[in-house]
Amino acid sequence: MRRIDFAVPAEYDGAMVKTFLRKAHGVSAGILAKAKRFPEGILVNGEEAYVVRVLRPGDVVSFLTEEKISLAPPVCLPFDVLYEDEDFLVVNKSTGMPMYPTPGHDADSLMNAAAWYFREKGETSVYYPLYRLDRDTTGLVLLAKNAYCASAGAETVKKEYTAICRGILRGQGRETGSIGLLPGHKVQRCVCQEGVPAITDWQAVESGNGLSLLRFSLKTGRTHQIRVHMAHRGNPLEGDDLYGGSLQYITRQALHASSLEFFHPVKMRKMTFASSLPADMQRVLAILEGSK
């Protein structure tokens, strides 16, 4: 279990414990309900307290939050840690690595890699990814170490992706086609009226040799969103043969989660991280830039 402490500021003078934790620190009703069931799950100034206790400035409220044990078998796999503290890990995911074990990929997932990492440190293995990347998409993944940080942190995450697509694009644009399963398929998506709303913003960075380097920010989080939207507009990602991309220069979709920003709910400050393009995308970029 992880115990988290917060000092009460003047503006919450007279507030109840539950009001302070929920409004000031985003503690969900579910996490608060679980904390109440733990021995000494909620303390005020080191003493057990009910959630209706009235607080005064300077009081210290603490609560216990769950650290759910990961049952994935530990496997020695690439696990590139860029940042770690008591509450979060930021890792740089490799290509060919699913987020979770799946049929055919039972022991090569990021979850397996995390289990090995924690075992080698002599720590309990936990796994709370705040979002998912496709198996062959590389880049930054934010992992929480407890239920509270997974819940509170997820609402503040902002990501930017970098991709290389076919065609010459300049300026910026927004794709708004709704996304759903392609009829008759279990994995492949398409833009269709029956789909769910999806919004993708893109900005061209540079182009050449029939290729464009783009940055993306997503207003929604649909499966394969960038890949589907770019294929629909006639500019599939390089290497993305599922959606019509060419395998001429790269054998997986040229898509990388390149920047991450989130608000740390315990440290109470914004955290930012960046990841440079992996080697295979750097090679495609060199081809793009070689036309200049």
Q: Determine which one of 87, 108, 134, 136 is catalytic.
A: 134
280: annotated active-site residue: no
Q: What is the dihedral of CA 276, 114, 265, 271, to 10 degrees?
A: -10
Q: What is the DSSP string of the chain?
A: -EEEEEEPPGGGTT-BHHHIIIIIH---HHHHHHHHHSTT-EEETTEE--TTPBP-TT-EEEEEE--PBP-SPP-----EEEEE-SSEEEEEEPTT--SS-BTTBSS-SHHHHHHHHHHHHT---B-EESS---TT-EEEEEEESSHHHHHHHHTT-EEEEEEEEES---SEEEE---EEEPTT-SS-EEE-TTSB---EEEEEEEEETTEEEEEEEESS--TTHHHHHHHHTT-PBTT-GGGT---SS-SS--EEEEEEEEEETTTTEEEEEE-PPPHHHHHHHHHHHTT-
Cβ(59)–Cβ(7) below 8 Å: yes
Handedness of CA 120, 126, 129, 130 (dihedral sign): negative
CA distance 50 to 42: 7
**Catalytic residue ranges:** 134
